Amino acid sequence: MTLTFALHPPLDLGLREEFIRLWTDASNAGGAVGFVPPVTVDQARAAAEKHFAGLGPGCPDRLLIAREVGSGRLAGMLIFEDMRFPLMDHWRLLKLVMVHPDLQGRGYGAELMGEAERIARGWGLSALRLTLRGGLGLEKFYGRCGYTEVGRVPAALRVAPGDDRDEVTMWLDLR
């Protein structure tokens, strides 16, 4: 199986539901995308609405989705978030980078990040930035995608009482 990508697809009701389901499933499988499991669909829906607001007509954020060729299922996604600050208009923040837990470990995450880089270069951006939750090995994943660790705030994320994780910033220079 391989992936087909769509940038800034129409955010119709069907895609909104797929987005919410993917986020819920990835979170409940232990993914570090804003939640600590267990997460309900309703909790993901409430959080998703904030992202949908930034993806609407005239808004500057951009959704990238990956579908599996053949099944057509939503395999992964990410958002390019615009900082809405002129001094930071030359880069974008990647948010909600995820692959469905059934499909992880097949190279789809790396493909998704490669497509994001290709798009960013096409836009003429200078860099991509993202933050991650420490303790899961994600630095290695993004490192393989070419990103460099440029910042680490110790114990900034409290995922449970007594379980604080570093918030790590990664940067991909495109110049």
Ligand X SMILES: CC(C)(COP(=O)(O)OP(=O)(O)OC[C@H]1O[C@@H](n2cnc3c(N)ncnc32)[C@H](O)[C@@H]1OP(=O)(O)O)[C@@H](O)C(=O)NCCC(=O)NCCS
Is the Cβ of residue 42 or residue 102 nearer to ligand X in the bound state? 102
> What are the C-alpha distances in Å from 165 to residues 15, 80, 84, 133?
32, 24, 28, 6
Is the Cβ of residue 56 or residue 91 nearer to ligand X in the bound state? 91
Is the Cβ of residue 10 or residue 70 nearer to ligand X in the bound state? 70
One-letter amino acid of 92: R
Which span sits near ligand X by CB under 6 A: 43-51, 83-91, 130-138, 146-154?
130-138
Among 37, 60, 107, 151, binds ligand X (CB under 6 A): 107
Q: Counting contacts by CB under 6 A, is residue 19 touching ligand X?
A: no
Q: How many angstroms separate the first and last alpha carbons of the chain?
A: 33
The closest of 51, 139, 135 to 95, measured between CA atoms, is: 51
Cα–Cα distance measured from residue 34 to residue 47, given in angstroms and rounded to the nearest whole number: 9
Cα–Cα distance measured from residue 38 to residue 106, given in angstroms and rounded to the nearest whole number: 25
37-66 mask for ligand X (x: CB under 6 A)? ------------------------------
User: Exposed (0-12), middle (13-18) or buried (19+): which is 169, by Cβ within 10 Å?
Assistant: middle
Which span sits near ligand X by CB under 6 A: 13-21, 31-39, 80-88, 151-159?
31-39
Cα–Cα distance measured from residue 167 to residue 150, given in angstroms and rounded to the nearest whole number: 11
Q: Counting contacts by CB under 6 A, is residue 169 touching ligand X?
A: no
Is the Cβ of residue 74 or residue 99 nearer to ligand X in the bound state? 99
Cα–Cα distance measured from residue 7 to residue 155, given in angstroms and rounded to the nearest whole number: 34
Q: Counting contacts by CB under 6 A, is residue 77 touching ligand X?
A: no
Q: Counting contacts by CB under 6 A, is residue 99 touching ligand X?
A: yes
Which span sits near ligand X by CB under 6 A: 2-10, 44-52, 57-65, 101-109?
101-109
Residues that bind ligand X (CB under 6 A): 26, 31-33, 97-99, 104-110, 132, 136-138, 140-141, 144
